[in-house]
C-alpha cells in the first residue's frame, strides 16, 4: 500500500461525486494548502482505498487553531479493506505529518454512541475529551453554512515535538 498526499481530483473519485458544497469547500481548502487530503492506494492497481483529511485551522479553535493543533476528519477505509490494519497505517502517517509540520496536538470527532470508533481512536491516543458538538463546520449546505449534525464528541491527542 502507498500512503501519500492526494489531489482535489482524487477527492471527487473517492467520494464518487462531481460536485457538492462540501466537496467544493474541501477542494478549495486543498488548493489553498489549508487542508490536506491523505490517501491510501493499492500498489498494483492504483485503487484508492482510504482517506484522511488534516485541517490546519478551523472556525472552531478547539478543533484546529493554525498554530499547534490540527483537526482530522473524513477518515475512511474501503469496507473490503477494514480490519486489516490499513487504517492504523494511514493514521500513523498523518500524525507524523502533523508532527513534522510543527504541530503538537491533533483532534478528531466521533459520533456519540459510536463505541467501536471511540475505542479505536482512544487506542491511538485520542483520549482527552474536549466537548460535545452538534455543528459541523466542515459539512456545509448549498449556501456554505455549517450544518447541524448528530451529536459528536471531540477528542484530543497530544504529541511531543
59-99: pLDDT as tens digits: 999 999 999 999 999 899 999 998 899 999 999 999 999 99
Residue 22, pLDDT score: 87
Tell me the residue range of the domain where 62 lies. Answer: 2-158
Q: How many CA atoms lie within 13 A of 160 on its CB side?
A: 0
Domain total of the chain: 1
Residue 38, pLDDT score: 96
- Pick left, alpha or beta for residue 85 (phi over 0 → left; psi -120 to 50 → alpha; otherwise beta): left
Q: Is the pLDDT of residue 44 over 90?
A: no
Model confidence band, residue 153 (pLDDT cutoffs 50, 70, 90): confident
What average pLDDT does range 98-102 have in this prediction? 95
Residue 161, pLDDT score: 53
Closest alpha carbon to 69 in 109, 101, 23, 93:
101
Contacts (Cβ under 8 Å, ≥6 apart) of 134: 148, 149, 150, 151, 152
Rounded CA-CA distance 103/123 in Å is: 20
Write the CATH number for 154: 3.40.630.30
Amino acid at each position: 500500500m502507498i500512503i501519500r498526499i492526494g489531489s482535489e481530483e482524487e477527492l471527487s473519485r473517492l467520494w464518487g461525486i462531481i460536485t457538492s458544497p462540501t466537496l467544493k469547500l474541501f477542494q478549495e481548502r486543498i488548493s489553498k494548502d489549508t487542508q490536506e487530503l491523505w490517501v491510501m492506494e493499492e500498489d498494483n492497481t492504483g485503487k484508492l482505498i482510504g482517506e484522511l483529511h488534516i485541517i490546519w485551522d478551523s472556525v472552531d479553535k478547539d478543533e484546529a487553531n493554525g498554530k499547534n493543533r490540527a483537526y482530522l476528519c473524513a477518515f475512511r477505509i474501503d469496507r473490503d479493506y477494514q480490519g486489516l490494519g490499513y487504517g492504523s497505517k494511514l493514521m500513523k502517517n498523518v500524525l507524523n505529518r502533523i508532527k513534522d509540520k510543527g504541530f503538537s496536538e491533533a483532534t478528531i470527532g466521533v459520533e456519540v454512541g459510536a463505541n467501536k470508533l471511540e475505542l479505536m481512536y482512544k487506542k491511538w491516543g485520542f483520549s482527552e475529551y474536549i466537548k460535545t458538538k452538534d455543528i459541523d463546520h466542515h459539512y456545509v449546505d448549498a449556501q456554505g453554512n455549517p450544518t447541524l449534525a448528530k451529536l459528536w464528541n471531540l477528542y484530543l491527542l497530544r504529541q511531543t515535538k
